[in-house]
Structure 1
Amino acid sequence: MSLPVEFKPLHIPPLEEVAEVLQKALQKNFAEVEVTVVNCPDLTKEPFCLKARGLCGSPRLADVGGVPHLMPHVQKDKLYDIKTLAVSVDLPDAFVVGAGAGPYPAVGVNSELMANIVTGDNCANGSHIAKIDSSGNSQLMKLPESATGCALMLNMFASEGLPGKVLRVWAKKRTGNINLVTCIRQALLSHYSEKPIGLGGTFRLVNGHAKCHVMPDFSTVPLTCTEDVNEWLRFFDMQAPMVFLSTLITKDHGLDLRLEHSHGYGSNCGGHYHYDTTPEIVEYEAFYNVAEFIYRVDRPKITHNLGRN
């Protein structure tokens, strides 16, 4: 059965223009900032170790499913295969990175997914999940090559995985009160106003700590308010170095979108990024590309804004 798909074009400003916008905005939130347009480094190498070299070639965002599939009541039938999702966004041979819910049939429980997959005939899966173990601790796992699925929701950036020009964002010592991703998104929203812009890619927490959550197994009671959600989630202070897979879009664009979503992992930890907790020493390095389209796949029929932070 094919999934319902909607898509809309996004505004595509020159990378040099975006870099200038972000340089000015991030200087208000970080003591040291450098935003430039560079040749994308080979992301298959350390420290990223992703499954394709770059973020270029037909770049696009997709918002699949959504939090309303998880709460107030979980819909366990909402299962997706990222290889099929690549076809749904008109890029069957894609390099996909992003943040979503892990494939619970393969993992055994609910989990946080860090998607890192090349689809098509040369499929390669480098995805990880973070789950809560029997002791209540966060446990990081590399998914088996065959586990290319996800459940409930996924925010993904897809491209041909080619080398090319991208944005490099370097920021150190946070002086403002918003996280890196939100600062980037709000800067673009402020400058471009009604023109929706989307970015996707990866960033590193080079130094410092970050507040991250990991979903435990599915709640046995309905999650109906923010207090319920925060009581159910498990929060952790995670230490650099960590690699995050990240998407953001400035406006809802009439598609009921999650505006930003980043999941990441280190040597023995992983989860959903909220913000850094060590502003005096924090350091980030990010590589993003501008998306040409936003796809909305399997939009929930009944929606809400709970649990989207």
Structure 2
Amino acid sequence: MNSVSKEVELPGAFLLGAGAVASRIVGMNAELMPLVLTEAEGRPAVNGSYWSSINPADGQCLQEKYSDKFSDCNFGLLANLYACEGKPGQVIEVRAKRRTGAESLVGALRKTLEAHYPDKSLALGGTFVIQKGKAKIHIMPREFPVCPLHTNDDVNSWLKHFEVSAPLICQSVLVSRDPGLDLRVEHTHCFSHHGEGGHYYIDTTPDTVEYLGYFMPAEFVYRIDRPQETHVIGRE
């Protein structure tokens, strides 16, 4: 993540978002909730990230502080990150209760922006809290699959799904419309102080759910290490 901050021309940036742990370092797959103040001249990085894996003892969610075991700020596979200076400023506050549609909070925000600005590509990054209710998440198994995953059904069968309880702290990056960079248009991971976290899909208690979030529009979108061959599997 220190390299990413330099690539996006904001050395020393504060980064948040959703990604995967560096499996070569951790020794397995796991979900990563990045919270990193990257290194700057005369100051080391501060890593406050969390990660969630499948507990081999009981097959349940195991959430830990990333920095408790791994002092570096590496990640693997992919990450969708929002970079900022980490200074106070104006933000967009979102308050919502009682979901009435089929979209998650993130999906509703993204599709509203897309409908209102059909000719533009707008990106937001930020944090929201599920204050009440429960949510559906997934966590990748510890081992990579032995066979290729060719369809979304293959991916969903491989992933481990859980229902987790509020309060959940969610970090989200979304883009209203892909501007031709082969982007994942939304990606959200969550963590908690009661040991549950992973890749957020949607709340499972629409009648009682409550959200509070703070977001910032992005000035620039950077695509780092874009693959030459791509697909749309596993992006939902």
TM exceeding 0.5: yes
Q: Which runs of 5+ in 2 are unaligned?
A: none
Q: CA deviation at 1:107?
A: 2.2
In the alignment, the residues of structure 1 paired with residue 226 and residue 174 of structure 2 have an alpha-carbon distance, to the nearest angstrom, of 17
- Residue 87 of structure 1 aligns with which residue? 6
Q: CA deviation at 1:185?
A: 0.4
Q: How does 1:10-89 map to 2 (within 5 A)?
A: 82-89=1-8
Output one character per residue of 1:3-41: Cα deviation in whole Å (capped at 9) or x when no partner: xxxxxxxxxxxxxxxxxxxxxxxxxxxxxxxxxxxxxxx
In the alignment, the residues of structure 1 paired with residue 168 and residue 221 of structure 2 have an alpha-carbon distance, to the nearest angstrom, of 27
- Residue 80 of structure 2 aligns with which residue? 155
Q: CA deviation at 1:129?
A: 0.7
Which residue, out of 247, 257, 260, partners 2:183?
Answer: 257
- Residue 167 of structure 2 aligns with which residue? 241
Output one character per residue of 1:285-307: Cα deviation in whole Å (capped at 9) or x when no partner: 00000000000000111100000
In the alignment, the residues of structure 1 paired with residue 33 and residue 176 of structure 2 have an alpha-carbon distance, to the nearest angstrom, of 22
- Worse-matched range after superposition: 126-135 or 287-296: 126-135
Output one character per residue of 1:44-65: Cα deviation in whole Å (capped at 9) or x when no partner: xxxxxxxxxxxxxxxxxxxxxx
In the alignment, the residues of structure 2 paired with residue 110 and residue 199 of structure 1 have an alpha-carbon distance, to the nearest angstrom, of 27
TM-score, normalised to structure 1, is 0.72
1:165 has 2:87 as partner: no
In the alignment, the residues of structure 2 paired with residue 252 and residue 86 of structure 1 have an alpha-carbon distance, to the nearest angstrom, of 22
Q: Which amino acid aligns with 2:166?
A: A
Q: Which runs of 5+ in 1 are unaligned?
A: 1-81
- Residue 103 of structure 1 aligns with which residue? 22
Runs of 4+ in 1 over 4 A off after TM superposition: none
Which structure is higher in RCO with an 8 Å CA cutoff and minimum separation 6?
1
Output one character per residue of 1:198-229: Cα deviation in whole Å (capped at 9) or x when no partner: 00010101000000000112111111111111
In the alignment, the residues of structure 2 paired with residue 227 and residue 176 of structure 1 have an alpha-carbon distance, to the nearest angstrom, of 24
- Asked if structure 2 preserves the Cα contact closer than 8 Å seen for 1:208 and 1:239, the reply is yes
- Residue 136 of structure 1 aligns with which residue? 59
1:269 has 2:196 as partner: yes
What secondary structure is seen at the aligned counterpart in 2 of 1:284?
A: strand
TM-score, normalised to structure 2, is 0.94
What secondary structure is seen at the aligned counterpart in 2 of 1:235?
A: strand
Q: Which amino acid aligns with 1:127?
A: S
Q: How many pairs does the alignment contain?
A: 228
